[in-house]
Each structure stands twice: as C-alpha cells, then as structure tokens.
Amino acid sequence: MSRMIFEPILEDLKSKMVFLGGPRQCGKTFLAKEVLKSFGSEKNYFNWDSYDDRKIILSQAWGKEKLIALDEIHKYPRWKNFVKGIYDTKKDFHNFIITGSARLDVYKRGGDSMFGRYHYWRLHPFTLSELPKKISKEEAFQKLMRVGGFPEPFLNSSERTARRWRKERFDLILREDIRDLEKVNEIQNISLLVDLLRTRVGSLIVVSNLAADLQVAPNTVKRWIEILERMYFIFVVRPYTEKLSRAISKPFKIYFYDNADVDGDEGVVFENLVATHLLKKIQFTEDREGYRQQLYFIRDKEGREVDFAITKDKKLEYLIEAKLSDNEISKNLLYYSEKLKPLNSIQLVANIKREYKKNKLEVNSAKEFLFHFR
C-alpha cells in the first residue's frame, strides 16, 4: 500500500533532498523503494549496514538514474558532511532520499550545515487513519490493541509471532543501533529501564525514582531516556503549564511507538494507542505544513488531570481525554475546558454507547475520531 506521506515526499524531492526518520521496522525501506520505483531508479538503493553497499556509497559508484536512496547512513560518523558534499556537487544530476532508524534531525545541534537542502519526514506504524486495504476500523482497532501497528505483526496478526518479532526488534535496537550511535556500555541497564517504563505508561515519571530503582545517577537515567527517544522507541509527553499557576512542571509521561510494548491493563494500552495516533497527526502536520505543534498532558497540584493537550503555534487546539468505556464527561476535562477555552474539548471512548455533545464538549467514538484525524 502507499503510505500517507508518499505523495508529499515525491513533491518535496522536486526541489530538495528528503530525510526520512522513524522507528526501526515501521516501513521506511519499503517506502524508499516505492519512491525509487516512481523515479525509475529501483537499483539505486544502498544500505550502510551492507559491506558491498558501503563501498558503493563511499566511492559514489551508483547509477545514472536521478534518485539515490541511502539507508542508515547516519551510522557513518561524518555522514552530514558527506551528504552535503555530494548534494552540493551532484544536485544537477542526482537527488537523494536519506532514511534512518534514529532521529536524523537531532544531529542539528551546534548548527545545521545542511540547512535549506532537505525536508524532514517522520514515518509511523499503521494507525486507524492509515490502514492497508480491506481492513475495517473494528478489525484494525483490535489488531492495534493486541499486536501494535508495525507492519509485520499487524499484517500477520499472530500474537506469538508478534512477541518473537518484538523481542528481535528490541535486541537489534539495543545491540546495534544504540551501540553504534551512542557508544553506551550499560546496555543491560537500559534494558532494565525499558522494563520499568513498560509498566509506567501514562503515569508520572520521576527520574530520581527510576534512578533509585536502577541504582544509578538521575542524570544517567535522563540520558538513557533521551537515547531511547532518539531511537524512536519511546516518546516523552511533558506537562502543559501555560496560564496554569498550579500546574506541575517537572514530571513527564512516557509512551511507546509500539502499542504492544505496553505492560498494563486494557485502559493503559488504549491510552498509549491514542497517544501514538495524536503524535502521528501532529508530526504529519509539522512536516507537511510547517506549523509548530506539541503534544502535552495537563495536571495540577490538586491532581486534576487531562490526558492530552495539543497546541498549534502555541495556541491550545485540543483537550483530549481517553476513556475505555466511560461515557460520562470527565469532571477534569470540563474544568480545564472552562478554564483554558481550547478550540476543541473531546472525550474519546473506545467502547461507546452513544456519541453526544454537551455545550462545547464532545463525547466521541475513539475509532471514528482517530480514523478521520489525519
């Protein structure tokens, strides 16, 4: 199937390089090869992890076709200068799509030597807003809750196969990606941290508590969390504090790109599912339209909390509460809706009896809302 960012990438390649980031095994290689096909450049896919491809990349011995795909080249220590050089000298003859399973944009710290030369896109696993053909919303929802949205387990559907696939993927991230890119020696401790985070999805994360559990320094835990973020394994959602004098400011929340990584009850898994859908939507809007969007949660010192808040260019667009089966409007959602006056206040319910609207608050089917939230 064609992914939702396929056509925008084709458009961007008319004028600039495209950088394509996203979690390992979410379909970046497949998408890159589909893009190559549309340019008639099928043979010009090269992966830095391949010894033979690495020789071709360094010697620039690719074909004469217009488009070149370079996969995992961020593992080359001098990749930015290399790509900048070949683009500046060969852009009249070639264009490039650069893909990687780590955050390619994070390496802009200290100045971006390639500014103005590329557009950055992020690919996500399947969601209700982007499904393979002939899969209904209901079937997709059940798959997302059981095996997650990564293409291989999602299309296979077997929970046993999904568990084996997930273990192999995690081992690759730990043993190859983190080792190659981050020069971390404490691989086993990072694995222990992931086990702790799996049980704390949607809960407030206090770094000092995790550090005590792991018997390491808080700054070490903070660095490990940043590494897992860069590897597109987890994402952090921070508290919204604008116009809230009593809002908490330091604890944050963790969610997983793979919904099946969550170790919790059905309600927690559903909250993670909603978080991944919202993140995918706002990152697509950022990458395509250029707006600055951010995903937050809200919680004050009295314990009043709303699961998600979305801002667009710093303006509060959405307050969203995720409920597995509760059709009654959340008192906290009502409180913050009246206090902050967002453009939209929505309670998403997985197992809903009926949709309705009360004043400016909407109680919607999560499946229907997230299907159209693209």
pLDDT tens track for 54-68: 999 999 999 888 999
Q: What is the pLDDT of the chain when averaged over all its residues? A: 93
Can you tell me the mean pLDDT for 124-137? 94
Concatenate the DSSP letters of all residues of 313-330 into one string. TTEEEEEEEEESS--SPP
In this structure, are 362 and 326 located in the same domain?
Answer: yes
For the four alpha carbons of 364, 366, 368 and 369, in that order, the dihedral sign comes to positive
Q: How many structural domains compose the chain?
A: 2
For residue 129, is it within any domain? no
Domain limits for position 109 = 6-122
Predicted pLDDT of residue 204: 97
Spell out a b/e string for 178-189, using b for 16 or more CB atoms within 10 Å of the CB, else e.
beebbeeeeeeb
Residue 354's pLDDT band, with cuts at 50, 70 and 90, is: very high
For residue 132, is it within any domain? no
Residue 135's pLDDT band, with cuts at 50, 70 and 90, is: very high
Which tokens in the block code for residue 211? Answer: 């550090």
Q: What is the pLDDT of residues 156-165, one digit of tens each?
A: 989 999 999 9
In this structure, are 75 and 149 located in the same domain?
Answer: no
Last residue of a domain, one of 122, 157, 182: 122
The pTM for the full model equals 0.95
Share of the chain above pLDDT 70, in %: 97
Can you tell me the mean pLDDT for 111-132? 89
In this structure, are 99 and 28 located in the same domain?
Answer: yes
In this structure, are 255 and 114 located in the same domain?
Answer: no
Looking up residue 60, the CATH number of its domain turns out to be 3.40.50.300
Strand order in the sheet with 95-100: 45-47, 67-71, 95-100, 17-21, 118-122
Predicted confidence (pLDDT) at residue 5 exceeds the cutoff of 50: yes
For residue 19, is it within any domain? yes
